């Protein structure tokens, strides 16, 4: 059975070793070293590990004691969920520039349906490449991506060229790809189920495909139908966005640090233009404007002011931006400036579910 168009264009974006990479971003001396996130107490567990630590067999949910045994020179760092969320919000704002059909799975991964996208770009692969580039330029973090006709295959594909890579499984490649895929890579196949399949001589998708729907249902109950469909590329779960926008932001990281407020005003003018454009595009207004300053030593500072009326136009909010910039003296040269609106006119709205339906 061949898959029939029209096909959806789904991207799965997955940040590379997210927690560990954030630690390296904020502490450059950690780059290239074996690090584990989660603290170093003997009773603790590893939340995440850098790729350097993974080479020694260190992985998430492993006890700190075992991690030290496997990698004696490992460096433990504390979790910083406020920072993870901050960067995650920046990444999601990039997603929303391309499509409103974004389904976050966690702070560090999400599905995007770009079948119809805001850029009018017919190539999901090029969109994924552009998004990964934007993420790096905005946050300094690397992301990997998988691109295919449904969420399941896109998620599997995103792991193939990690780190900092992407993999596209085109419609005509889906069936051959699934036939060669080890069954333990199939969604819904855990260790116990995989072991049962191995005992039945089912090792790759093609082995699974030889089983009838009746056989699979008898062997695996309700999950049997799922396995029957998924090995044939049938996975109709749509990308399900459900969000109320609580803030809207724009920011820029500079190639060279800036130390003069005059130059910063010039940069903020550009950032404000972008913010105004996003406010109009999303039909959003806000009362609280925040100036974000990240210094050359990575120390971060925010300055905010709430006005009586909602603002949307640059001519209305930029005087507040200048007021915030000159509110206090700068404590160092600056590597990043950002502007964001909070207290939006959208916050009291009910969530709206958006779903595209395509027939195979």
Residue 128 has φ and ψ, to the nearest 5°, of -60, -45
Residues 46, 37 contacting (CB under 8 angstroms): yes
Find the radius of gyration of the CA atoms of the chain.
23
- Is 109 catalytic? The answer is yes
Report DSSP letters for 177-189, one per residue. Answer: HHHHSBGGGSTT-
Instruction: Find all residues with CB under 8 Å of 274, minimum gap 6, and list them.
Output: 250
Residues 174, 233 contacting (CB under 8 angstroms): yes
Angstrom distance (rounded) from CA 118 to CA 30: 38
- The token pair at 74 is 């490992």
- Write down the catalytic residue from 24, 93, 103, 109: 109
Angstrom distance (rounded) from CA 167 to CA 145: 7
Q: Burial of 316 by CB count in 10 Å (0-12 exposed, 13-18 middle, 19+ buried)?
A: middle
Order of strands across the sheet that contains 334-344: 248-258, 334-344, 286-295, 300-311
Angstrom distance (rounded) from CA 336 to CA 255: 9
- Residue 182's SS3 state is strand
Buried residues in 272-293 as b, exposed as e (16+ CB within 10 A) = beebbebbeeeebbbbbbbbbb
Angstrom distance (rounded) from CA 178 to CA 6: 19
Angstrom distance (rounded) from CA 51 to CA 290: 35
Annotated catalytic residues are 109
């Amino acid at each position: 059975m061949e898959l029939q168009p029209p096909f959806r264009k789904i991207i799965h974006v997955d940040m590379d070793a997210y927690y560990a990479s954030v630690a390296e971003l904020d502490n450059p001396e950690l780059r290239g070293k074996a690090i584990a996130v989660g603290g170093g107490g003997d009773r603790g567990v590893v939340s995440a590990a850098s790729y350097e630590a993974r080479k020694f067999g260190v992985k998430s949910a492993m006890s700190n004691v075992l991690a030290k045994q496997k990698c004696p020179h490992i460096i433990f760092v504390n979790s910083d969920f406020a920072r993870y969320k901050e960067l995650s919000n920046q990444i999601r704002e990039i997603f929303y520039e391309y499509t409103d059909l974004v389904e976050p799975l966690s702070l560090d991964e999400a599905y995007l349906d770009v079948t119809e996208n805001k850029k009018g770009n017919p190539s999901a692969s090029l969109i994924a490449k552009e998004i990964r580039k934007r993420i790096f330029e905005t946050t300094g973090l690397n992301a990997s991506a998988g691109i295919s006709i449904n969420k399941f295959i896109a998620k599997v594909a995103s792991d193939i060229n990690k780190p900092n890579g992407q993999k596209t499984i085109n419609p005509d490649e889906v069936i051959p790809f699934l036939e060669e895929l080890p069954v333990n890579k199939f969604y819904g196949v855990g260790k116990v189920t995989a072991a049962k399949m191995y005992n039945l001589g089912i090792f790759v998708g093609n082995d699974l495909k030889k089983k009838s729907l009746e056989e699979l249902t008898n062997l695996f109950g309700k999950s049997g139908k799922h396995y029957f469909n998924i090995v044939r590329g049938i996975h109709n779960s749509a990308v399900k966005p459900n969000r109320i926008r609580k803030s809207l932001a724009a920011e820029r990281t500079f190639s060279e640090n800036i130390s003069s407020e005059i130059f910063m005003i010039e940069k903020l003018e550009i950032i404000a233009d972008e913010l105004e454009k996003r406010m109009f595009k999303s039909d959003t207004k806000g009362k609280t404007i925040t100036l974000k300053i990240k210094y050359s030593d990575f120390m971060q500072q925010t300055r905010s002011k709430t006005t009586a009326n909602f603002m949307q136009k640059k001519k209305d909010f930029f005087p507040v931006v200048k007021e915030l910039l000159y509110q206090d003296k700068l404590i160092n040269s600056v590597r990043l400036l950002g502007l964001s609106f909070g207290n939006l006119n959208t916050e009291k709205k009910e969530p709206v579910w958006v779903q595209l339906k395509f027939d195979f």
